């Protein structure tokens, strides 16, 4: 174990449509630069080919900025951590190839990171305003590609207790937003309008799924049919009811998530509950989770806003934890589009 000397790790994230680089020193974030790709907005979703091209353009300036903001020289770096997967292959390849080249050039270790472990382990970033969850804890991991309840027994021992059988919750948000004519990614916009609306204005059917698994595709179809019917009767329905529709959709989604989370607590007896992933930026999910402390006796862990959606800070912290264990990757390691949260 290496102690008492500064360990600088560069984290690189390029799994989807955000190019990000972060420098972490002994678990503390010194910089976390994210370049969002605006190009996808007009297509209503991420176009993989365009995403990899944008990563190619952004990666060098983003890394340079992260090193500059951290006020270090690249020669000070001790290792390069990068997202190996899961994600879009073309996007992952840009970060993976760059990380390999830089580790070769600087002659320092290369550390492969599982993106989903990054979302969860962002809770271990050193920050005086954030308490770290004790093991074991449950994490509701909610993003554009995943919806899982994960039991975390140690930094790298993660077990999926339940997950979505079809769409991820982020997709449910984004597709609902698209039906309402909102641009991609619609999740934050649904959240914004929902705050102004009545959550009980419209009722959407919750799916019936056994155990701790989820399903969101039926909800999306239900919303689509509902909106089509209403717009037929009143072409201005969406404009006139946007806040109430968003609030009702959000209410249903939050209920689906918390019904399962409560069941997971009942089944495991674990009451330390964290949330992670892009959708954990959602104001209602954060609020309801916080309320569960008084209502249900849970201890909750809500990530800082900047560590919810894709960012390299979460990759850098995993890099640091792996560095301490000298868990380095071979130079022949390859990116992989599919990777379970339990796999390193």
Binding site for ligand KG4 (CB under 6 A): 16, 143-145, 170, 173-174, 185, 187-188, 191, 277-279, 281-282, 309-310
C-beta of 18 vs 72, nearer to ligand KG4: 18
The CA-based dihedral angle spanning residues 268, 270, 271, 272, taken in that order and rounded to the nearest 10 degrees: -130
The Cα–Cα gap between 148 and 91 comes to 23
C-beta of 275 vs 279, nearer to ligand KG4: 279
Q: Which does 188 bind (CB under 5 to 8 A by kind): Zn ion, ligand KG4, none?
A: ligand KG4
Stretch that binds Zn ion, among 53-61, 136-144, 171-179, 312-320 (CB under 5 A): 136-144
The least distance separating ligand KG4 from the CB of residue 236, rounded to whole angstroms, comes to 26
Q: Which does 256 bind (CB under 5 to 8 A by kind): Zn ion, ligand KG4, none?
A: none
Q: By CB under 5 A, how many residues form the interface with Zn ion? A: 2
C-beta of 90 vs 278, nearer to ligand KG4: 278
Contacts of 4 by beta carbon, 8 Å cutoff, 6+ apart: none
C-beta of 83 vs 248, nearer to Zn ion: 83
The least distance separating Zn ion from the CB of residue 16, rounded to whole angstroms, comes to 7
C-beta of 111 vs 315, nearer to ligand KG4: 315
Residue whose C-alpha is closest to residue 34's, from 320, 316, 312: 312
The least distance separating ligand KG4 from the CB of residue 71, rounded to whole angstroms, comes to 27
Q: Which does 22 bind (CB under 5 to 8 A by kind): Zn ion, ligand KG4, none?
A: none
Residue from 143, 176, 280, 311 that binds Zn ion (CB under 5 A)?
143
The Cα–Cα gap between 330 and 333 comes to 6
- For every residue of 245-296, DSSP letters joined together read HHHHHHHHHHHHHHHHHHHHHHHH---EEEEESGGGG-HHHHHHHHHHHHHH
3-state secondary structure (DSSP) of residue 61: helix
Q: Facing residues of 83 across strands? A: 113
Considering only residues 297-326, where is the footprint of Zn ion by CB under 5 A? 310
Residue whose C-alpha is closest to residue 122's, from 257, 274, 19: 274
Q: Facing residues of 31 across strands? A: 23
C-beta of 225 vs 305, nearer to ligand KG4: 305
Q: Facing residues of 111 across strands? A: 81
The least distance separating ligand KG4 from the CB of residue 277, rounded to whole angstroms, comes to 5
Residue whose C-alpha is closest to residue 83's, from 27, 20, 35, 12: 12
The least distance separating ligand KG4 from the CB of residue 256, rounded to whole angstroms, comes to 13
Q: Which does 174 bind (CB under 5 to 8 A by kind): ligand KG4, Zn ion, none?
A: ligand KG4
The least distance separating ligand KG4 from the CB of residue 153, rounded to whole angstroms, comes to 23
C-beta of 85 vs 187, nearer to ligand KG4: 187
Looking at residue 124, the DSSP 8-state letter turns out to be G
CB 138 within 8 A of CB 52: no
Q: Which does 17 bind (CB under 5 to 8 A by kind): ligand KG4, Zn ion, none?
A: none
How long is the chain? 344
CB neighbour burial string for 138-160, b if at least 16 within 10 angstroms, e if fewer: bbbbbbbbbbbbbbbeebbebeb
The Cα–Cα gap between 10 and 253 comes to 36
The least distance separating ligand KG4 from the CB of residue 174, rounded to whole angstroms, comes to 5
C-beta of 24 vs 253, nearer to ligand KG4: 253
Q: Which does 185 bind (CB under 5 to 8 A by kind): Zn ion, ligand KG4, none?
A: ligand KG4
Q: Report strand pairing: 18-25 vs 147-154.
A: unpaired
The least distance separating ligand KG4 from the CB of residue 278, rounded to whole angstroms, comes to 2
Query: Where do contacts with Zn ion occur on this chain (CB under 5 A)?
Result: 143, 310
């Amino acid at each position: 174990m290496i102690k008492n000397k500064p360990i600088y790790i560069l984290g690189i994230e390029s799994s989807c449509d955000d190019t990000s680089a972060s420098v972490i020193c002994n678990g503390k974030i010194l910089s976390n630069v994210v370049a969002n790709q605006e190009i996808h907005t007009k297509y209503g979703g991420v176009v993989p080919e365009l995403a990899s091209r944008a990563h190619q353009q952004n990666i060098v300036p983003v890394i340079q900025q992260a090193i500059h903001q951290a006020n270090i020289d690249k020669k000070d770096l001790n290792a390069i951590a990068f997202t190996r997967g899961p994600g879009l292959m073309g996007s992952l390849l840009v970060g993976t190839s760059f990380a390999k080249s830089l580790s070769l050039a600087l002659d320092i270790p290369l550390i492969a990171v599982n993106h989903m472990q990054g979302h969860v382990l962002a809770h271990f970033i050193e920050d005086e305003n954030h308490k770290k969850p004790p093991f074991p804890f449950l994490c509701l991991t909610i993003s554009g590609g995943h919806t899982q309840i994960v039991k975390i027994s140690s930094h790298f021992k993660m077990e999926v207790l339940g997950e979505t059988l079809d769409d991820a919750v982020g997709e449910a948000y984004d597709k609902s937003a698209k039906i309402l004519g909102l641009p991609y990614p619609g999740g934050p916009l649904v959240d914004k309008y929902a705050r102004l609306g009545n959550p009980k204005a419209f009722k959407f059917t919750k799916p019936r799924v056994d155990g701790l698994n989820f399903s969101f595709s039926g909800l999306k179809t239900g919303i689509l049919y509902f909106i089509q019917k209403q717009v037929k009767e009143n072409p201005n329905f969406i404009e006139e009811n946007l806040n109430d529709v968003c609030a009702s959709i959000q209410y249903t989604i939050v209920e689906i998530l918390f019904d399962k989370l409560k069941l997971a607590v009942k089944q495991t007896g674990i009451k330390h509950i964290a949330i992670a992933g892009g959708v954990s930026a959602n104001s209602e999910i954060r609020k309801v989770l916080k309320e569960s402390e008084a209502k249900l006796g849970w201890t909750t862990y809500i990530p800082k806003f900047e560590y919810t959606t894709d960012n390299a800070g979460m990759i850098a912290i995993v890099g640091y934890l792996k560095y301490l264990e000298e868990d380095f990757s071979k130079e022949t390691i390859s990116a992989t589009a599919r990777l379970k949260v339990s796999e390193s």
